[in-house]
Structure formats: C-alpha cells, structure tokens
C-alpha cells in the first residue's frame, strides 16, 4: 500500500535551512504536499522548480506572505485553509515555523506596529498564524515545530524584553536573542494551550550554521558566526536537525511537557537550561490572543 501524502505548512522555506529541509524531504519516497509562505513567490517557485523533484509523488504550492505585515499573514492562513479544503479537506500534518530575521539595530518599521520587524517575524506573526490555523491544527492532530536557537541562553533578565522587542538600538543588547526567547515562550504557551488535543509542539535548535541568510541584515563590523568555529555546522546538517524534530515519534517525546527543546546533537535539553522561559505568567504576557493581536496591530475583522 502506497504511503499517504503528508502535508507540511511552512514559513521560512525560501532559502537556507528551510529550503534545504524541503529539498531533503523531496528526495524521500514518502510523498509530501508542501504549502509554503514566501515574500517573493516567483523566485521561490523557480528555485524549487530547478530541483526537478518528482511531481508525481510530491506537490508544492507557494503562497505570498510578508511576516512583518500581519495582515498578509491573515490572508496567507485563509489561502492555506482554502487550498486544504479544495484538496479533499486534507489535514495539516506539520506546521513548521522556521522564518527568522536577525538585525542588530532593529527598530519599529513604518507600519502601525510598535514592535521591531525582528519581533514581528520571529514571534508575533508566527504566533498569529498558529492562532488562525488552530481549529485545523486541532482537528488534524498536527506536529508544530518551532525552529529556535541556542541564542535564547543569552537572555538573563526578562525585564528587558519590552525594550528589546521594540528595539532601542542604544540598549546594547542584541534583538535576536530577545525575539527568539520570546518565540520559545510561545512554544511553551502553545504546548499548554493544546495539551488536551492530539497536537504536539517541539522546539529545535539547528545548531550554529554560518551558511544561512540569517546574517544578511548585519552591518559591516558587527559580529557574525565564524565558519571556522569548532561547533559550526553546514546547512544540510542543520536541516537534518529540524527534520528530526518533525519526525520524532510521539512515544519518543519526553514525558515532561516542558521538556520540548531538541538540541542539534539529538538530545532533549533539560528544562533548567531554559528555565526562564517556563514562567507561565511571562508566557501569557507575550502570547496574546487572536482578537488582541488583530486589535493592536490594526487588522480588520
């Protein structure tokens, strides 16, 4: 009996780790149906077409989204649900939240949001997307994979999150660790919110990967990952770490629901490594509800 196709809805799959992960999955005999969000749909579609994957086995749909503009996230979610409905009301097997931005001196953009673009991309937009897809995720028993970072360990004082997520450049603290820490709060929040369903939530660090597009906004003279660092990994290796988070069996997940962080070396981090993110009040503060997001970000009902 042929394997049934599995559906993956993903952000951050236009280049780097996300693109490599999809490339690896397209080489498998297990069929996949991909629905990918992209800022530049034509360029992304062309890049995947160049892979010349087996389209009789796999399918790939690229839909427009600009994660710094939450109104486009709402449209993307609507188009995803419409696409799934047209395809025999197909479930979402995996929601992959991989999009990320790293700006050392990020600041609020020209839109209505008070938050930095990095905060919108790394956390709020993908948290909002999960809200929008929640009924479908619950009905599907989806695996939600949040691509995190070891940079979350740089956050030692959570009282700075308000400032750093809005990003005042003079603070001297990197916005990337703050926004990724906030994203991890979101992973815990969704683990709690979905605990009575068949959904599972896994956060994963792909490791130190110098070959991605993440540093594209870093200015000259600012620190980047040294390709010669002894812990540096190449992009295919980093993508395999994310693949492990997608495919780990439910029965192999830790019994402690707070131990949801899979490392790049294939072990589950003990919770004391990221103990600050276990604060439920902090999780609630940084994980607003759908209506609150739309009201504060000026998104029409």
Please say if 128 is a catalytic residue.
Answer: no
β strands within the chain, DSSP E: 6-11, 32-38, 59-64, 94-97, 143-147, 200-204, 261-262
Distance (Å, whole) CA 8 – CA 299: 26
CA angle 11, 15, 19 (to 5 degrees): 70
For 214, residues 6+ apart whose C-beta sits below 8 A from its C-beta are: 16, 100, 101, 102
CA distances, 116 to each of 122, 172, 268 (Å): 10, 15, 31
Distance (Å, whole) CA 285 – CA 275: 17
Please say if 176 is a catalytic residue.
Answer: yes
Confirm if 9 and 94 have CB atoms less than 8 A apart.
yes
Distance (Å, whole) CA 235 – CA 215: 14
- Out of 119, 180, 233, 274, pick the active-site residue: 180
> In degrees rounded to 5, what are phi and psi of residue 2?
-65, 145
- Out of 32, 94, 128, 176, pick the active-site residue: 176
CA distances, 210 to each of 145, 149, 152, 206, 230 (Å): 22, 13, 17, 11, 12
Q: Which residues are the active-site residues?
A: 176, 180
């Amino acid at each position: 009996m042929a394997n049934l196709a599995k559906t993956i809805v993903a952000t951050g799959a236009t280049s780097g780790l996300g693109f490599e992960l999809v490339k690896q999955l397209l080489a498998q005999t297990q069929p996949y149906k991909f629905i990918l969000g992209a800022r530049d749909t034509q360029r992304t579609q062309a890049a995947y077409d160049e892979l010349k994957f087996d389209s009789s086995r796999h399918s790939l749909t690229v839909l427009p989204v600009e994660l710094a503009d939450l109104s486009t996230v709402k449209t993307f979610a609507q188009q995803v649900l419409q696409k799934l409905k047209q395809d025999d009301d197909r479930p979402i097997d995996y929601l992959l939240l991989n999009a990320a931005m790293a700006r050392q001196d990020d600041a609020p953009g020209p839109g209505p949001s008070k938050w930095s673009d990095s905060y919108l991309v790394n956390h709020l937009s993908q948290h909002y997307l999960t809200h929008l897809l929640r009924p479908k995720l619950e009905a599907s028993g989806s695996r939600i994979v949040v691509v995190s970072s070891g940079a979350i360990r740089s956050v030692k004082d959570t009282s700075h999150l308000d400032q750093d997520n809005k990003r005042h450049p003079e603070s001297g603290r990197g916005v990337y660790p703050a926004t990724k820490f906030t994203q991890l709060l979101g992973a815990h929040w969704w683990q709690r919110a979905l605990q009575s369903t068949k959904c599972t939530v896994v956060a994963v660090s792909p490791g130190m990967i110098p070959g991605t597009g993440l540093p594209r906004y870093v200015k000259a003279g600012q620190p980047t990952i040294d390709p010669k660092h002894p812990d540096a990994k190449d992009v295919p290796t980093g993508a395999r770490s994310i693949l492990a988070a997608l495919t780990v069996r439910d029965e192999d997940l830790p019994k402690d629901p707070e131990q949801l962080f899979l490392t790049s070396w294939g072990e589950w981090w003990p919770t004391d490594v990221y103990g600050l993110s276990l604060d439920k009040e902090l999780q609630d503060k940084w994980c607003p509800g759908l209506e609150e997001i739309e009201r504060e970000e000026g998104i029409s009902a």
